[in-house]
Structure 1
Amino acid sequence: MMDLRISLPALLLVLGLVTVFAAAPDSVCEAKNGTSCEECLKNVSCLWCIKTKSCVTYPVKTILPPHALCPLNEARWGLCWMNFQTLIITLAVFGGIIIIAFFVCLFCCCKCENFGSNRFNAKMQRQNDKTKTKQEERRAEMKDRHEEIRKKYGLSGQNPYSRFA
């Protein structure tokens, strides 16, 4: 049972490696020379050059295909109706828009958060001021009531405990 647990993944790994290395992409793309752009671009690793009407393997070591292989405005990759230069410019513009939108949202969210907290702080300050005003009014009312009680019972003189305070 233990032998099967080790040998099955090893067998799958070997079969996977054989499958990957068996299909040499160099021969697949060059075999489609003389066909159409659509036939060439069915394989993702292929690049169609309109100038030479040839199907070549996309040079993955360099990000952009060299001019000697095919000029950018004549190269087609992925879509036959869009040249590689337009594809790069379009992707760069969309990437720039996404980055700008991200920073605008980040800026707005931070600013709105600070604005919201400022609004919250102002509301709390108003509430504290209102509470203090009510408390002072209650103290004044209590003082007036105490004065009335003192007058009623004839204790309007100075408080004997005031000298300890």
Structure 2
Amino acid sequence: MASRSTKLRNFAMLFAAFIFIVSIPSFGKCQTTAPPTPPPPPCTSYKNCDTCVPHAKCLWCFATNNCTDYPVTWLFPPASVCSLADARWGVCWLNFEALVITLGVLGGIVVLAIAACCCYCCCCKSSHTRFDREDEQYTRRREEIRQRSEERKTDRKAKHDEIRKKYGLMTDSDHPYSKFENE
């Protein structure tokens, strides 16, 4: 049976061999430089919509059937470049006008949904606190009524005891039938 130190030494050697084997392919990659990528061709070199619109910097115009540089200084291409109904960017089947309208509607729906959620949360929170306040007031009122009832009960008992003393109906024991047992 091998000793513990021998097992540990064998494990360390296997681990070092594994690291060395894994790192060998990376040595060659680290020492080479990547060849420079050629600049992309200008947008005017694309001759149809399918080759033009995949490039984010290019805009296809169906009115003139040419690919032009997307005017990055403007969010929407000006009418001098191409009308919104004829402009295509990103995909050929969706014109720029429909894209803008769709994104505007979706953005409006998201804003309305967020506003509705905020209003709902605020209203629910205030209604819960209102219900909590009403419940607390109801509990407080019920406790006051119970205390007044106890006070009236105590006062009635004291008056009845005074009347019993006055007419001699009260004995030393508090048992209610003690008068009948003594006769």
Give TM class, smaller chain: 0.5 to 0.7
The TM-score with structure 2 as length reference comes to 0.62
Report how many aligned residue pairs link the two structures.
133
- Partner SS state of residue 42, structure 2: helix
Gaps of 5+ in 2: 1-32, 167-183
The TM-score with structure 1 as length reference comes to 0.68
Task: Report the counterpart of residue 126 of structure 1 in structure 2.
Answer: 138
- 8 Å CA contact 2:86–2:95 kept in 1: the answer is yes
* 2:80 paired with 1:64: no
Question: Which whole-Å CA distance do the structure 2 matches of 1:43 and 1:92 have between them?
Answer: 23
- 8 Å CA contact 2:59–2:68 kept in 1: the answer is yes
Corresponding residue to 1:81 among 93, 104, 120:
93
Gaps of 5+ in 1: 1-14, 155-165
Question: Which whole-Å CA distance do the structure 1 matches of 2:146 and 2:160 have between them?
Answer: 21
Where do 1:26-105 residues align within 5 Å?
Answer: 27-32=41-46, 34=47, 36-105=48-117
Deviation at 1:47, TM superposition (A): 1.0
- Partner SS state of residue 48, structure 1: strand
| Identity across the alignment (%) | 30
CA distances 1:15-67 after superposition (whole Å, capped 9, x unpaired)? 9xxx7xx7656x432222x2x21211221221111122212221111111111
CA distances 1:123-147 after superposition (whole Å, capped 9, x unpaired)? 1111111111111112222333444
Question: Which whole-Å CA distance do the structure 1 matches of 2:160 and 2:93 have between them?
Answer: 97
- 8 Å CA contact 2:52–2:58 kept in 1: the answer is yes
Task: Report the counterpart of residue 11 of structure 1 in structure 2.
Answer: none
